[in-house]
Structure 1
Amino acid sequence: MNPIYDPIVCLLGTPFSQCNARDKTDILKQGKPTPSLSCLTSDKKGGKVFSRSFSVAWYKQHSWLCGSYYLEKLFCWPCLVLGHTKSVWSTEGYCDFKNLARSLQRHELSKEHIRNHFNLKNLEKNSVTIVDALSEHGKLFKNYYNENVRLNRLFMEHIIEIVIFLAKQELAFRGHDESSNSLNKVGKRIPQFVQTRWSSRSKILNLLVNEWPNFITVFDTISIDPKSSAESICGAIGHSKNLKSFEFAFIAHIFNDIFLITNHLFNTLQTKSFDIEYCLRKIKTTCDLIEKKRNDDNFLNYFNTAVELTKHTTTTRQNSKNELSCKMLFYEIIDNIIMQLNTRFSDTDKLKFLQLGDVTKFKEYSTTFPDSGLNCLKNTFTNIFQDNNKLKTELEVLYSDIRYHNLQHVYDLIKIFESDGLKEVMPEVYKLFALILTIPSTSVSVERSFSCLKRIKTYLRNSTCQQRLSSLSTISIEKLLIQQLKETEPFFDDVINMYASQKERVIDLIYKT
């Protein structure tokens, strides 16, 4: 009968770092040993003596736990393979079954264990074949090539996500053929005003304020042009009347200046959504700038500008809207805007924990841990994150790993965690990042809501000459099927592999094995 192979005994005799490349590959391929230990320990309770035995169910509950067949002791597989410090879990072996649960929990919280477990997962993922192990040059080249492929495939996943999202929502794609010989020509027209987010309206308002006299000239010309249709004439007369209205001009110039200030805040909240402290400073700066406009000098400036643009006489002014009522309106607008800003962002400081997921600052966090963000998380989500010590330890290990210092978004990190099986290594960190992804960077509601069927009909009727559009319409119609494929199948890998196999691509998308 052949003796049973016990890798733990081998590693205790020859550490993993001293093994040759072939042996390292074999150890990683075989994985941790999980024998059924037959040793018994005696215990006494209430005057009665009983025996304790080890249950193999512990192996499933703790993915890092392993056992030695000959020593009949428990070990930590990551610490045994990659550990640099001596402990009972990596050198001597654990056999105190009475206190096993408490010891397992204590060991899982140690930074050394989390780091070793994290590195072992990455090592297992990137373990090389025997052929490459025999050739150091081949190993380095393959690792570099596969890392480049991983980044390329991650980039392709983003593109696929964008295509699916735009097709599902029937949103416009950039990149249509707009050349002079295109078979998909569309007549030029002036776009109509539709319900959009306020930042888009501010651009229209700014253009209107800067070109006020020219707009009046255009609408007056349309209204007296005999070639204009009745609908165009009525619309032009209405717009011209509004532009010549003193109250409209007065309010338009006030809000134009306010929007010039709030637009910077809007852009900051869109691009710096993880840097809450910076966002809070921008919110305060915005409120201060609007507050500075609350004075009589600014009021007179808006008042006189409106008078000049609308050419109102003093008598007309006094009859329609005297200076006192305009001043009251001006102060009410400023006060209301400030109150709305303070109310809307009153609880923004409770989102300071978002900085914990700012991947662009992982290098900075490796030396200076963001304790304020962790304290905010503790106060805001006490019921979800109960073990803050473990969360902090996991974050410290993650921040110190240079492999994750060049990511662009926490979503990329979530994808890596899922593909590399790191969720079980850092469960608290994964839970935190999943929470961060559920919080939108803006509360802007859906801008439009049109019938899906009408959009598809218009989509096909106006763009039947573009070959790709039928496929995009299929994505829109079969959105439920696509969602099911994404959840149950290796959807992105299949799409990327199919794309890469159709013809030779400029970028590398297939891993070397």
Structure 2
Amino acid sequence: MGIVSSIAAFFSASAKRSDKLKSVILSDSNNSQKKEKLKTLCETRWIERHDALITFKQLYVYVVHALEDISHDPNPESSCKAALYLNSVTKIDFLVALEVTVTCFAYTLQLSISLQSKQQDISKALSDVMVIRSALEELREGTVGHFKQIFKDVSDIANLANVEICMPRICGRQTQRININSKDPETYFKVSVFLPFLYFILQELDARFNQRLSDIIPLQGLIPSNFSMYDDETILKAASIYAQDLSTDDNSILKAELRIWRHQWKNKQFKTDSAIDTLPHCTTVVPNIKILLQLFATLPVTSATPERTFSTLKRLKTYLRSTMSEERLNGLALTNINKKELLC
């Protein structure tokens, strides 16, 4: 990602370089891509990172040709950097890493979009995560067939860019990089790049969702469509975490409300599948169930919502308003962020 980010910044920093890349793209009569420039890797928005990598892969051949032309530019700064970047991207290990990253990120792209939506709750988020995780597990189990197609795509791109397909030198003792004893490049890169990266993504999904939410996630058993997922004792144990927010600390009352809640939905054909959709069905008979569902619905899945305020504050806190008080800044920020609600 570091190389992709640096090259994107290299082209965007100069109008002359950007025009060079654009002219190379437009000069290809067989080009089916509508994109004419690279995207930078956003520091906070993962969706933009997905798009940046996919765009770089689609324009890879044109980037190589543009860097070759710029490396002969009279400007020493541009030519020197272009030569260094050209040397970095015309290596087979870079191409394999790029293709593997794009392939794996294709699975998580829609998940990233879903997790950053405003109406997302933990129950729906975990359901989406489990589906993506199962798909990635299947990808890992069928490594031989899947990576064969990945390596074929790498070979096609390498042939277009005149990149030699070979694997690094293997020695008896290696301490500075992965030293896989393999007879062909495909097996080497499968073991040294594809499998570790796939395992890393699975490990991160487990760390961010399963382990962190394991204590409170049984509360999703209060959602009618998830009644069979957890027994009463497991749900009550999770509810005890929010004991100070409930109207009672008597476990027997909470257990009775839980049974009433299950009985309320027993004969209904349609059962809601999210905490937000379930809340309107809560009656005064089950006040603690309603509180738990409210808490479960408002628990943040990611930090996407707070991060949305960064752009707003950047627009508001300009040098012309450097002496603005904190109270006024908060008021303007809330007004700007929630302008749709204010208009209604």
For normalisation by structure 2, the TM-score amounts to 0.56
Contact residue 246 and residue 310 of structure 1 kept, 8 A? no
- Measured in 1, the distance between the counterparts of 2:158 and 2:57 equals 14
Unaligned runs of 5+ in 2: 1-36, 171-178
What count of residue pairs does the alignment treat as equivalent? 272
Match of 1:274, as an amino acid? S
- Measured in 1, the distance between the counterparts of 2:111 and 2:42 equals 23
For 1:439, which of 296, 299, 317 is the aligned residue? 299
Deviation at 1:369, TM superposition (A): 7.8
Q: Which residue of 2 aligns with 1:381?
A: 239
- Measured in 2, the distance between the counterparts of 1:335 and 1:233 equals 39
Deviations 1:164-196 (A, max 9, x none): xxxxxxxxxxxxxxxxxxxxxxxxx98754313
Match of 2:236, as an amino acid? K
Q: Which residue of 1 aligns with 2:133?
A: 283
Contact residue 223 and residue 232 of structure 1 kept, 8 A? yes
Given the superposition, is the C-alpha separation of residues 311 and 446 from structure 1 closer, same or farther in structure 2, using an over 3 Å criterion? farther
For 2:52, which of 184, 204, 207 is the aligned residue? 204
- Measured in 2, the distance between the counterparts of 1:245 and 1:215 equals 14
Question: Is structure 2 residue 308 aligned with structure 1 residue 308?
Answer: no
Deviations 1:265-304 (A, max 9, x none): 4445565743455653443233222432356735753663
Task: Percent identity, please.
Answer: 18
Given the superposition, is the C-alpha separation of residues 433 and 369 from structure 1 closer, same or farther in structure 2, using an over 3 Å criterion? closer
Deviation at 1:428, TM superposition (A): 0.3
Question: Is structure 2 residue 177 aligned with structure 1 residue 336?
Answer: no
Could you say what secondary structure the match of 1:216 adopts? helix
For 2:89, which of 223, 243, 256 is the aligned residue? 243
Deviation at 1:242, TM superposition (A): 2.9
Could you say what secondary structure the match of 1:381 adopts? helix
Question: Is structure 2 residue 288 aligned with structure 1 residue 428?
Answer: yes
- Measured in 1, the distance between the counterparts of 2:226 and 2:311 equals 49
Deviations 1:448-493 (A, max 9, x none): 99799875454869xxxxxxxxxxx9898624568999xxxxx99x
Could you say what secondary structure the match of 1:478 adopts? helix
- Measured in 1, the distance between the counterparts of 2:304 and 2:219 equals 22
Contact residue 312 and residue 333 of structure 2 kept, 8 A? no
- Measured in 2, the distance between the counterparts of 1:459 and 1:452 equals 15
Q: Which residue of 1 aligns with 2:189?
A: 326
- Measured in 1, the distance between the counterparts of 2:140 and 2:310 equals 37
- Measured in 1, the distance between the counterparts of 2:334 and 2:67 equals 53
Contact residue 279 and residue 294 of structure 2 kept, 8 A? no
Match of 2:148, as an amino acid? D
- Measured in 2, the distance between the counterparts of 1:428 and 1:474 equals 43
Q: Which residue of 2 aligns with 1:274?
A: 123
Match of 1:433, as an amino acid? L
Match of 2:123, as an amino acid? F
- Measured in 1, the distance between the counterparts of 2:334 and 2:102 equals 47
Which of the pair is proportionally richer in helix? 2
Given the superposition, is the C-alpha separation of residues 408 and 334 from structure 1 closer, same or farther in structure 2, using an over 3 Å criterion? closer
Given the superposition, is the C-alpha separation of residues 412 and 299 from structure 1 closer, same or farther in structure 2, using an over 3 Å criterion? closer
Using CA pairs below 8 Å that are at least 6 residues apart, which structure has the higher relative contact order?
Answer: 1
- Measured in 1, the distance between the counterparts of 2:89 and 2:308 equals 28
- Measured in 2, the distance between the counterparts of 1:250 and 1:311 equals 15
Deviation at 1:332, TM superposition (A): 2.7
Deviation at 1:252, TM superposition (A): 0.6
Q: Which residue of 2 aligns with 1:215?
A: 63
Match of 1:432, as an amino acid? L
Q: Which residue of 1 aligns with 2:219?
A: 353
* 1:455-466 aligned within 5 A: 456=316, 458=318
Q: Which residue of 2 aligns with 1:186?
A: none
Deviation at 1:202, TM superposition (A): 1.7
Given the superposition, is the C-alpha separation of residues 455 and 377 from structure 1 closer, same or farther in structure 2, using an over 3 Å criterion? same
Deviation at 1:259, TM superposition (A): 0.9
Unaligned runs of 5+ in 1: 1-188, 358-364, 462-472, 486-490, 500-508
- Measured in 2, the distance between the counterparts of 1:396 and 1:475 equals 54
Match of 2:66, as an amino acid? V
Deviations 1:395-420 (A, max 9, x none): 7659999xxx9999729958x99xxx
TM-align CA RMSD: 5.2
- Measured in 1, the distance between the counterparts of 2:229 and 2:85 equals 53
Deviation at 1:354, TM superposition (A): 2.8
Contact residue 280 and residue 349 of structure 1 kept, 8 A? no
Could you say what secondary structure the match of 1:253 adopts? helix
